[in-house]
A and B are shown apart, each in its own frame.
Chain A
Amino acid sequence: MCLGIPGQVLEFLADQPDLARVDVSGVRRVINVGLLADDPPEPGEWILIHVGFALSKIDESEAAAALEFLEGIGQAYADELAALQESRIE
């Protein structure tokens, strides 16, 4: 739960503008982007996700560096991705 994980925004849900479909290392899940309401991300942009909420926008190079780092830490990231895989935010 402590990891911030980068994801790329794919699309916003039509009926709920606070929710966006996001790609995290190939896992596509719905994430709440309400905390970025002052400066919402566009589809294609990267966000830092924490327990189902986008905390900040990041650029592509930061996302790549963060992903490389997370993949290097092993089990903790695998656990986080497994948890995300089970997530069904609506």
Chain B
Amino acid sequence: MRFVDEFRDADKAHALAAKIAGLCEPGRQYKLMEVCGGHTHTIYKHGLEDYLPESVTLVHGPGCPVCVIPMGRVDDAIHLASEPDVIMTSFGDMMRVPGSQGSFFDAKAEGTDIRMVYSPLDSLKIARQNPDKRVVFMAIGFETTTPSTAMTVLRAAAEGLTNFSIFCNHVTIIPAIKAILDSPDLRLDGFIGPGHVSTVIGCRPYEFIASQYGKPVVVAGFEPLDILQSIYMLMLQLSEGRSEVENQYTRVVPWDGNLAALKAINEVMELRPYFEWRGLGFISHSAMRMRPEYAAFDAELLFQVPGVRVADPKACQCGEVLKGVLKPWECKVFGTACTPETPIGTCMVSPEGACAAYYNYGRMNRHRVVEVSIS
């Protein structure tokens, strides 16, 4: 009963768990992917898998923006940061992500000027205060973060700042989901859709998953009951033979998303022809770059960027974890050579990474709590 009382609505969770169990067809296995790393975090934190019947498996998806940055991009960023007069600015999450020659933290320790910021607007302020320096913002994130970068560039342009630029690594979630759907490695039955990404893009972009692939999608909130409710909604669709996009998180996610945010992104950025994702390889039209009209803010044009592709360390199986093929604890180096303090792979770096979430909540060996699985 270890995980049962960890959140206040455990009774409601049990009721939902019973309804989910009641929808399982005997002999059928269900694999549901939670796309977003925030959901993965909640699932481990609250031991939600312990509430589910044996036949329902949660598969952890690629929705951790730190985890999908390939080593070569980290190397490029450190190279940029080492250029004369450059101040590199970055979210704290990025600081420990390993490149082939070390992380931002390592480079900072060696004297490179890399500063942590809360917001791209803080980076902009550093640029205003240091007119003799060239300030670069390491932009990472899915559609939740992309509008913030776009709005910051619009602000910089309006102010006429000439010493501020973006090293753009923004990725888009839909092509990654499509790559997973097209992958022969994994057969999924449905998707728990990301909450905050959907605040920006809305629910419509997922419709192809339901209509072309016949898989249900439920956009979910981040609390334990949100996720169990979403699993119930997915299971109900599966039991009724439906595949639709539903929104469990209506209290935050509008069906059409945030049009002002989408407009800002579209004004400043365009899709790249392709982008490398850690573990998933090159995916077409899966990331953003600056539009030519905003070339003055594009660090990739303002500086020489090596652009060398670096293979992941052989021991690291982040790729399989990001595709949901392996559970974190099935990776050979999990919890031994690779820990949050000394990560080999990106999934161990971010708190949203599946490996770090597993590690931090002591779920290194999976044992179901039999007495709560079905009631």
Contact = CB atoms under 8 A, between A and B. Distances in A.
Given A1-B93, A62-B251, A69-B222, A52 B119 contact: yes
Interface pairs A-B: 3 shortest CB-CB:
A52-B119, A87-B118, A83-B118
A2 B38 CA distance: 7
A66 B42 CA distance: 12
Range for the number of chain B residues in contact with chain A: 35 or more
B350 interface: yes
Contacts of A88: 122, 125
A13 interface: no
B332 to A, nearest CB: 27
B252 A35 contact: no
B151 A32 contact: yes
Contacts of A55: 144, 147, 196, 199-200, 258, 261
Nearest to A52: B119
A83 B128 CA distance: 20
A34 B151 contact: yes
Contact of B145 (A36, A51, A87): A51
B37 interface: yes
Nearest to A85: B118
Contacts of B141: 1-2, 51
Contacts of B266: none
Contact of B116 (A4, A59, A65, A83): A83
10 contacts: A2-B65, A35-B258, A35-B260, A38-B260, A50-B148, A51-B118, A51-B119, A66-B223, A83-B118, A90-B121
A10 interface: no
Contacts of B351: 75-76, 79
B120 interface: yes
Range for the number of chain A residues in contact with chain B: 35 or more
A20 to B, nearest CB: 13
A51 B252 contact: no
Interface of A: 1-4, 32, 34-38, 48, 50-53, 55-56, 58-59, 62, 65-66, 69, 72-73, 75-76, 79, 83-84, 86-90
A55 B200 CA distance: 7
A39 to B, nearest CB: 9
Contacts of A86: 116-118, 122
A38 B259 contact: yes
Contact of A2 (B64, B254, B260): B64
B72 to A, nearest CB: 21
A77 B200 CA distance: 22
B264 interface: yes
